[in-house]
């Protein structure tokens, strides 16, 4: 029977401790359940708004970076077009100089051919030193 008394008194002490703990918890609880739920809901709303604001800020920063990148790329494209324009103008100058050179050389060759024809005509028109008196020079 001594065992039954010990186990029942141990259980009684457990229940007493549980009651005292619950009483102390209620007395020292910072807020009521409704207030705690309202605080949790308010904190959740504030956290959601904070995340939305941070998302907007991040999106704005990304847009600024993209705009800067577009601006830089536009500058690079403009410079590239300028270089291409200059190169095209130089190429056109080179081509014009080449055409002029070829034209000048063609004129020189043509003049040389004409001079050669004229020299041949003159040589053919005069009697040759080897020709005898009765023979005529070919025309």
pLDDT for the residue numbered 26: 66
Kindly state the tokens that stand for 52. 């939305």
Closest CA to 42 of 34, 30, 53: 34
pLDDT for the residue numbered 136: 56
Q: Helix, strand, or coil here: 128?
A: coil
Tell me the per-residue pLDDT of 35-52, one tens digit each, with 9 for 90 and over. Answer: 877 877 888 898 889 889
pLDDT per 10-residue tile (average), the chain, 139 residues: 60 85 72 74 87 93 95 94 93 93 93 91 73 53
Are 105 and 114 in contact by the 8 Å Cβ rule? The answer is no
Kindly state the tokens that stand for 78. 């403009």
Q: Which residues of 96-105 are buried (b: 16+ CB within 10 A; e: fewer)?
A: eeeeeeeeee
């Amino acid at each position: 029977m001594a065992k039954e008394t010990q186990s029942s008194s141990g259980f009684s002490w457990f229940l007493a401790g549980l009651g005292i703990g619950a009483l102390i918890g209620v007395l020292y609880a910072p807020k009521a359940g409704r207030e705690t739920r309202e605080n949790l809901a308010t904190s959740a709303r504030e956290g959601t708004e904070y995340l939305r604001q941070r998302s907007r800020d991040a999106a704005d920063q990304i847009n600024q970076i993209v705009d800067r990148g577009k601006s830089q790329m536009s500058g690079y494209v403009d410079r590239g077009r300028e270089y291409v324009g200059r190169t095209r103008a130089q190429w056109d100058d080179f081509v014009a100089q080449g055409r002029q050179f070829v034209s000048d050389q063609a004129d020189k060759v043509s003049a040389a051919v004409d001079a050669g024809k004229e020299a041949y005509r003159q040589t053919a028109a005069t009697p040759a030193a080897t020709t005898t008196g009765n023979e005529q020079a070919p025309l």
